[in-house]
Chain A
Amino acid sequence: MASFSTTATVEDPRVSLGDGGILPPTRGGGGDDSGPGLPDYATRLRRARLGLLVALTPVLMLFVSFTSAYIVRQGLPTLDPRTNTLVRDWIPVTLPRLLLINTGVLILSSVFIELARRQIKDQAALRPITARPRISAGDQMRIPWLSMTLVLGLAFLLGQWTAWRQLAANGFYVATTPSSSFVYLLTGTHAIHLMGGVLALFVAGIASHLRRSAATRSIVVDLTAWYWHFMAALWIYILCLLKFAS
């Protein structure tokens, strides 16, 4: 019966095992501001981005699935029992113009959050210098891109809500026609996911007050920005699907 293998080599530099091996080894190097025992900023960013990429896959699959349901439902004839013939019942929905304005708002918000992402990255990189008294990073750093994105995001959601009210006023509710069902389904699911993005923005915004490090804040904003861009691209796709695939 073997016990713990004594012939194994375990490479293990710079480790203090005074704590009985409970704590992970400390990491040297400065400037990354991430605290003892954490992987460095580059690793954390890469891992977080990989995680986001993986996480966006099922979101994509959700909308791929809705798309295939949309295409199938649109083209599908059904048996009219009265006449014993196959009929199609697809009536296209006139989309409110407001949706185009909302699209503009969302695209602009994407621009803003991209600027926020770069801004906080620069901030994190400059921290060793700006930490010194009497050194400032300039006016560019003062523009609150993140808050502006949040405002636009909320404006988009409000705009979507208003667009739904307009649809209802025109007589198109969720179950009125199959086409209207899909309009509410696709825009509604997108809006729910965007709300998640808004929540992330909020968390990123108050992160500084929660005393998270600049590196952590940078990663949170980075992920939120990529998520936001994905949501914007997804919205453009949904709009095109609803407008042109009718």
Chain B
Amino acid sequence: MATHEFAAQESHAHAAPQGFVRKWVFSLDHKVIGLQYYFLALAAVFVGMFLSLLMRIHLIWPTLALPLLGDIKPETYLTLVTMHGTIMVFFVLTTAPQGGFGNYFLPIQIGAPDMAFPVLNMLSFWTTLLGFIVMIAAFFVAGGAPLHGWTGYAPLSAIQSTGPGEGLGADLWIISIAIFCIGALMGALNFITTTLDMRAKGMTMMRLPLTVWAWFVTAILGLLAFGVLLSAGILLLMDRNLGTSFFVPLVTINGQLTGHKGGSPLLWQHLFWFFGHPEVYIAILPAMGMCSQLLSVFSRKPIFGYKAMVYAILGIGFLGFMVWGHHMFMSGMSPYTAFAFSIMTMGIGVPSAIKTFNWLGTLMRGRIRFTSPMLFAIGFVSLFVSGGISGPFLAQPVLDIQLHDTYFVPAHFHLIMGVASIFGIFAATYYWFPKMFGRMMNESMARWHFWFSFIGTYAIFMPMHYLGMAGMPRRYSQLTEVTYLHGLIPLQKFITYAAFVTIAGQLIFLVNLFWSMFKGKQASDNPWEATTLEWTTATPPPHDNFGGHTPVVHNGPYEYSVPGAPRDYVMQSDPEIGPAH
């Protein structure tokens, strides 16, 4: 019998941790750390949703005084906009799919007993949590949280006197993001090293589940992008507090000279979007991997075009670094540069289209089981298509003239990044809940949740396209001042009502999640009859994932309905099913 690699660090040589603190608080176990990330993201998403609810209320009832919070002033509205975007992008979309599910399942899916550097892994969670605490703290300091949008354009973000919240609140915002960068980089380090160096025997790169490919490429994107964001944050902090002029030219705020001169606001935009564009792929790639996984499992059919899917993930990752200028077509950038960026941007639509074709191809001639994870995977495809279709409008500078900084843009990114990614998180939750907690989630509550979410998010975001085309600008705290915007108030009201209903529907998920942890039906080790390695081990997995054994892999990850096989699924560690087909 061949010897097998056993990957462990010194800490793994000892017995599984005992005691509540070592086991659940300062745990080195990637599964516990994954859960910690997940619950951090869960807290963050409810904060983010609450902020957006306040935004929606203020937009259609600008003079309404709320209990406890009172009047929402225009600057408060902008604070809500800023913190909603920041919290959702960083602490939900970059945390749950990667830090949450990636941490939990990447080692198991590749047949490893843990991540390469468990201590660093633990530190990465606590760093991220610290970042979240600092971000929330911005609400409570003098002046409150910043109002400069999640994009933080200078000079608005670079001078303390440009508006309320731009003092200490803005400094904390930057510091929180810097802390987040460091946590994310630590995580990326683990993901990349683990994927490259700790795969079980037989688990070649081309036998990796697409979830692993997605987490791996996402980590590479993060590795290259977060350092640039960190650098931008450092320069911004210096401009704000040390009087430097990286981003600030000669300006007067309220008629007062500020002492800055010569800086370039566009420099901030270039640095920010060099990070910002890969960031949106960081947010969506894990969900794409999840969708591929689930469509295959629940169609009982291999993913259509595995190799093409891998190349598409790599292509999206690579091209993602070359398109950042499409956020800057109207910024004062050279029109020739704009042209170059727009061609690259149309290019990146191609691998995304390939993935969509392949998802449809997976469903075709399959045998579809409508489990709750599958519903969210199907919903993901629909939302991804809807959100993707608006991309080519924005990618063409000539059309972007009309659409830039209107509601057309949030329509696009909420559908394709916000909602689609959240659907990926929900799908992953319903799918992996049995493996993590040993119980099934309640199916009928799950279905209610799906329909509320699917119809609700379309009702919220599809109308935003119309608002954008009609000329409704972004980040306007109310529609009262501009005459032609009055006609758009009914549509805004519809969106707010839809938001009420959709957010209410999320409570179903919350109840289901916590109730099922304690009262859900007992789950077997492989309730979905899936093929990847996490389903070969006990439920929940033991401390070292495989109970002292190391799996050896003989098959690809999507061997469903193989002709001649005894069942309609062949596990990756089952004996080899025969020559390549």
Q: In their complex, do chains A and B touch, with some C-beta pair under 8 Å?
A: yes
A58-B227 contact given A2-B529, A8-B536, A12-B549, CB 8 Å threshold: yes
Which A residues are CB-close (under 8 A) to B227? 57-62, 64-65
How far is A165 from B320 in the complex, measured between Cα atoms in Å?
43
B158 to chain A, nearest CB (A): 13
Closest chain A residue to B181, Cβ basis? A58
Which B-chain residue is minimally distant from A44 (CB atoms)? B9
Instruction: Check B238–A54 contact: CB distance below 8 A.
Output: no
Interface string of B237-250 (1 = CB under 8 A from A): 01000111110011
Q: Using Cβ atoms and an 8 Å threshold, which residues of chain B touch A100?
A: none
Determine if A84 is an interface residue (Cβ-Cβ < 8 Å): no
**CB proximity of B221 to chain A, nearest CB, Å:** 12
| Least CB distance, B293 to chain A, in whole angstroms | 18
Residues of B within 8 A of A73 (CB): 246, 262-264, 267
A interface footprint on B1-16 (CB within 8 Å = 1, 0 otherwise): 1111111111011011
How many chain B residues touch the partner (CB < 8 A)?
76
**Residues of B contacting A: mostly:** loop
Asked if A30 is at the interface of the complex by the 8 Å CB criterion, the answer is no
Q: Could you give, for residues 182-205 of chain B, a 1 whenever the CB lies within 8 Å of some chain A CB and a 0 otherwise?
A: 000100110011001110010000
**Taking the complex as formed, is B224 at the interface, i.e. its CB lies under 8 A from any CB of chain A?**
yes
Report yes or no: B548 in contact with A185, Cβ–Cβ below 8 A: no
| Cα-based distance from A9 to B575 in the complex (angstroms) | 7
Are the C-beta atoms of A76 and B262 separated by less than 8 Å? yes
Q: Does B226 contact A (CB under 8 A)?
A: yes
What residues of A have a CB within 8 angstroms of the CB of B234 in the complex? Answer: 185, 189
- B117 at interface, CB cutoff 8 A: yes
* Interface range, A side: 35 or more
B573–A37 CB distance below 8 A: no
A46→B198 CA distance, assembly (Å): 11
Indicate which residue in A23, A35, A58, A64 contacts B223 across the interface (CB closer than 8 Å): A58
Decide: A24 and B13 in contact? CB cutoff 8 A: yes
| Contact indicator per residue, chain A 1-39, by CB within 8 Å of chain B (1) or not (0) | 111110111111101010101111101000000111111
B177 at the interface (CB under 8 A from A): no
A10 lies within 8 A of B197 (CB) = no
B196 to A65, Cβ gap below 8 A? Answer: no
CB distance from B411 to the nearest CB of A (A): 31
Interface residues of A in 54-75 (CB under 8 A from B): 54-55, 57-62, 64-66, 68-69, 72-73
In contact, A4 and B250 (Cβ under 8 angstroms)? no
User: Is B571's CB under 8 angstroms from A8's CB?
Assistant: yes
Task: Decide if A174 is an interface residue (CB 8 Å cutoff).
Answer: yes
> Bound state CA distance, A54 and B567, in angstroms?
42
In the complex the two chains form, what is the Cα distance from A50 to B274 in whole Å?
A: 26
* Contact present for B243 and A9 (CB under 8 Å): no
Contact (Cβ within 8 A) B243 A174:
yes
List the B residue with the shortest CB-CB distance to A35: B13
A76 interface neighbour in B116, B264, B529, B573, Cβ under 8 Å:
B264
CB distance from A233 to the nearest CB of B (A): 17
Residues of chain A contacted by B529 (CB below 8 angstroms): 1-2
- The answer to the question of A218 belonging to the interface, with a C-beta cut-off of 8 Å to chain B, is no
In the complex, what residues of B have CB within 8 A of residue A65's CB? 227-228, 231-232, 271, 274
A24-B261 CB under 8 A given contacts A51-B117, A65-B271, A174-B243: no
- Complex CA gap A12/B529 in Å reads 24
User: Is A80 interfacial (CB-CB < 8 Å)?
Assistant: yes
Which residues of chain A in 97-150 are interfacial with respect to chain B, using CB atoms and an 8 Å cutoff? none
Give the residue of B1, B13, B573 whose beta carbon is less than 8 angstroms from that of A8.
Answer: B573
- Residues of B109-129 whose CB lies within 8 A of A: 113, 116-117
CB of B544 within 8 A of chain A? yes
Bound complex: CA A189 to CA B238 (Å): 13
Q: Is the CB of A3 within 8 A of B525?
A: yes
Q: Contact: B262 with A78, CB < 8 Å?
A: yes
In B267-324, the 8 Å CB interface with A consists of 267, 270-271, 274
Q: Does B223 lie within 8 Å of A57, measured CB to CB? A: yes
A245 close to B (CB within 8 Å):
no
**For B567, what are the chain A residues with a Cβ–Cβ distance below 8 Å?**
2
CA of A5 to CA of B547, assembled, Å? 15
Contacts of B542 in A (CB 8 A): 21-22
Which residue in chain A gives the minimum CB-CB distance to B567?
Answer: A2
Contact between chains at B575 and A11 (CB < 8 Å): no
Given the complex, which residues of B lie within 8 Å of A79, measured CB to CB?
Answer: 249-250
- The answer, yes or no, to whether B335 is at the interface (CB within 8 Å) is no
Q: Which residues of B contact A80 (CB under 8 A)?
A: 250
A19 CB contacts on chain B under 8 angstroms:
15
Is A224 close to B, CB under 8 A? no
A34 to B264, CA, bound (A): 55
Determine whether the beta carbon of B224 is less than 8 Å from that of A24: no
Query: Chain B contacts of A166 at CB under 8 A?
Result: none
A181 at the interface (CB under 8 A from B): yes
Give the contacting residue for A54; candidates B3, B189, B228, B245; CB below 8 A.
B189
Interface: A175 (CB within 8 A) = yes
Q: Is the CB of B13 within 8 A of A4?
A: no
B230 within 8 Å of A by Cβ?
yes
Chain B, residues 205-232, CB within 8 Å of chain A (1/0): the string is 0000000000000000001111110111
Instruction: Judge whether A81 is part of the interface by a CB distance below 8 angstroms.
Output: yes
Instruction: Say how far A96's CB is from chain B's closest CB, in angstroms.
Output: 20
Q: Across the interface, which residues of A come within 8 angstroms of B548, CB to CB?
A: 12, 15, 17, 21-25
| Nearest B residue (CB) for A12 | B549
Is the CB–CB distance between A39 and B549 below 8 Å? no
Q: A37 near B264 (CB under 8 angstroms)?
A: no
Collect the chain B residues with CB atoms within 8 Å of residue A13's CB: 1, 3-4
- Roughly how many angstroms separate A4 CA and B534 CA in the complex, as a whole number? 11
| Contact assessment for A181 and B261 in the assembled complex, using a CB-CB cutoff below 8 Å | no
User: Do A4 and B525 touch across chains, with their CB atoms under 8 A apart?
Assistant: yes
Cβ contacts under 8 Å, B230 to chain A:
58, 62
Question: Is the CB–CB distance between A50 and B13 below 8 Å?
Answer: no
CB distance from B137 to the nearest CB of A (A): 24
**A150–B353 CA distance with the chains assembled, in angstroms:** 55
Query: What residues of chain A lie closer than 8 Å to B16, measured between beta carbons?
Result: 22
CA distance A59 to B245 in the complex (A): 23
A11-B552, A181-B244 are contacts. A24–B192 as well, Cβ < 8 Å?
Answer: no
Q: Assess the B543–A181 pair: CB atoms within 8 A.
A: no
Q: How far is the CB of B493 from chain A (nearest CB, A)?
A: 43
Cα separation A80 to B235 with both chains bound (whole Å): 23
The reply to whether B524 and A2 form a contact with Cβ atoms under 8 Å apart is: yes
Between-chain CB contacts (< 8 Å), 23 pairs: A1-B529, A2-B526, A7-B566, A9-B575, A11-B201, A13-B1, A17-B548, A22-B16, A35-B10, A51-B117, A54-B188, A54-B193, A58-B185, A61-B223, A62-B231, A65-B274, A76-B267, A78-B261, A78-B264, A174-B243, A178-B244, A185-B238, A216-B10
Extra contacts, 5 of them, besides A7-B575, A185-B238 (Cβ < 8 A), are A35-B13, A50-B193, A51-B193, A69-B267, A189-B234
Q: Which A-B residue pairs are the 8 nearest by beta carbons?
A: A61-B227, A175-B243, A58-B227, A65-B231, A21-B547, A37-B13, A21-B548, A89-B262
Query: Taking beta carbons and an 8 Å cutoff, which residues of A are in contact with B?
Result: 1-5, 7-13, 15, 17, 19, 21-25, 27, 34-39, 43-44, 46-47, 50-51, 54-55, 57-62, 64-66, 68-69, 72-73, 76, 78-81, 89, 174-175, 178, 181, 185, 189, 216
